[in-house]
Amino acid sequence: MSYTQRIVAELHERYADQPEFIQAADEVLTSIAPAVDANPAYEEAGLLERLVEPERVVMFRVPWVDDEGKCQVNRGYRVEFNSAIGPYKGGLRFNPTVTLGMLKFLGFEQIFKNSLTTLPMGGGKGGSDFDPKGKSNNEIMRFCQSFMTELTRHIGPNTDVPAGDLGVGGREIGYMFGQFKRLRNEWTGVLTGKGLSFGGSLARTEATGYGLVYFVDEYLKCHNDSFEGKTVVVHGSGNVAIYAIQKVSQLGGKVIAASDTKGWVEDPEGIDYKVLEDIYNKKRSGNDRGVSLAMYVDARPAATWHAEDGRGVWQLPCDIALPCARENTLLLEDAQALVANGCKIVGEGANMPTTTDATNYLIENGVAFMPGKAANAGGVATSGLEMAQNAEHLSWSFDEVDSKLENIMRGIYHACDDAATEYGFEGNYMVGANIAGFKKVADAMMAQGIV
Ligand SMILES: NC(=O)C1=CN([C@@H]2O[C@H](COP(=O)(O)OP(=O)(O)OC[C@H]3O[C@@H](n4cnc5c(N)ncnc54)[C@H](O)[C@@H]3O)[C@@H](O)[C@H]2O)C=CC1
Ligand SMILES: O=C(O)CCC(=O)C(=O)O
């Protein structure tokens, strides 16, 4: 049994109750095996044993008072996974499905994603099982203030810099930033995704979606092709999806479907991202009961609403599929439908949206598969640019940030492509992303001794 196989086996045994973490770690460790097993110094230094254990996990209760005056208690977490190349960096997820294992999967992925951006950021993730759906603005504010009251002890601009993720957008970041400042009496860029009037970066809102499309576009360019005339389907209709749809249409492609948790919408004239943006803002207004993507057809009569599982989008013939909702939402049968209907590219906007068997099926059937840790790195990369602007007390223009983002994403594509080719896996961007992301972190960990 090789070193990597031994660590994978130990993980399966020790963390059987953390399926998403096992899934993510198994994929990374299996695909970096050629780079790891060629270097016995890694085993001597216990590199993988250290890589798969978070440096620190903070778990805490989050008590808050609802609008009826009742005390509610949620669980809060911050997984500070790896700080070898920079302060912990990664989002906060507020969703009833949040568990420690889910945040470990997201934090683990973040280590390699942040490394691929070329910026000095370590990997972390956090959140709570709090459900923002149906809560008033005041409830959201009280929850965020309570969450930050504990989190403030563990974060700082050179220690750990959280941001948004599912259920955490500009509103939540604003409330948490206000509470941090109040408790610490200090104005510092401790969160990213902030409002533009208090240190946020232009283009951060658009960055993950735009970055995804720049990444796919670089692949197309390197294959003498472009988005012009391409048909695209998108899963999700939140932050990542909306701006991916906008950028696809700017580059000449047409997105014909998008989804939410209640169903999916098909628009033969091309999804209008502005209508999605309006619905998204209504969902986050503090008065979101009854708001769903079904409202899209009120503004676009040529569109059809399907009140069924949003995975219906994978049944449509398309050239490119962009899963932008959440983990494990593109299953084997969806991958089979995509291949049967002629899809040639799958670009992951979400984190690990494609299950392991679906990923393998896509790759084996010649689909260019762009893994989330590379293709959706534009969000955290732009967070890194927000940290740089905060540190130098400057604000860059939208075009300046967008052009840095574009360069970073095109660079990540080439880093993945080069690493895949170097290790004999030409065209396998999953292997390429894992190896390229791993090598920088491994070099830093080796240089810093056994810590
Ligand atoms: N926002 C960001 O900057 C980044 C987000 N990501 C990842 O992208 C994904 C989406 O994030 P955001 O767009 O920010 O979140 P969001 O909350 O704005 O949107 C999520 C979308 O997914 C849909 N969705 C949620 N659960 C679903 C389910 N079980 N089945 C089908 N659809 C479902 C929602 O209806 C919504 O349209 C997540 O995996 C997140 O971790 C990754 C990198 C950066
Ligand atoms: O911008 C950030 O720090 C968070 C981004 C994030 O959570 C992600 O890349 O999944």
Query: How far apart, in Å, do the first and last CA atoms of the chain sit?
Result: 26
Q: Where does the pLDDT of residue 386 fall: very low under 50, low under 70, confident under 90, or very high at 90 and above?
A: very high
The structural domains of the chain, with segments of one domain joined by +, span 55-188, 205-374
The CATH number given to 205-374 is 3.40.50.720
Rounded CA separation 388/120 (Å) = 10
Residue 286: pLDDT over 80: no
Can you tell me which atom of ligand 2 is nearest the CA of 109?
Answer: 10
Average pLDDT over residues 138-155: 98
Token pair in block for residue 228 = 């012009």
Rounded CA separation 434/412 (Å) = 12
Rounded CA separation 439/42 (Å) = 11
Mind listing the pLDDT tens digit for each residue in 38-73?
Answer: 999 999 999 999 999 999 999 999 999 999 999 999
Q: How far is the CA of 109 from the centre of ligand 2 (A)?
A: 10
pLDDT of 72 reads: 98
Can you tell me which atom of ligand 1 is nearest the CA of 351?
Answer: 39
Q: Which residues are catalytic?
A: 125
Q: What ipTM was assigned to the predicted interfaces of this complex?
A: 0.99
Residue 374: pLDDT over 90: yes
383 is in an annotated binding site: yes
Q: How far is the CA of 238 from the centre of ligand 1 (A)?
A: 6
Residue 288: pLDDT over 80: no
Q: How far is the CA of 149 from the centre of ligand 2 (A)?
A: 21
Domains 55-188 and 205-374 share a fold: yes
Mind listing the pLDDT tens digit for each residue in 416-436?
Answer: 999 999 999 999 999 999 999
Mind listing the pLDDT tens digit for each residue in 80-127?
Answer: 999 999 999 999 999 999 999 999 999 999 999 999 999 999 999 999
Is 55-188 assigned to CATH 3.40.50.10860? yes
239 is in an annotated binding site: yes
Ligand 1 contact, 238 CB (< 6 A):
yes
Is pTM beyond 0.95 here?
yes
Q: Which ligand is nearest to the CA of 326?
A: 1
Rounded CA separation 273/249 (Å) = 9
Give the residues surrounding ligand 2 with Cβ less than 6 Å away. Answer: 89-91, 113, 163, 165, 192, 351, 379-380, 383
Give the chain's mean pLDDT.
Answer: 97
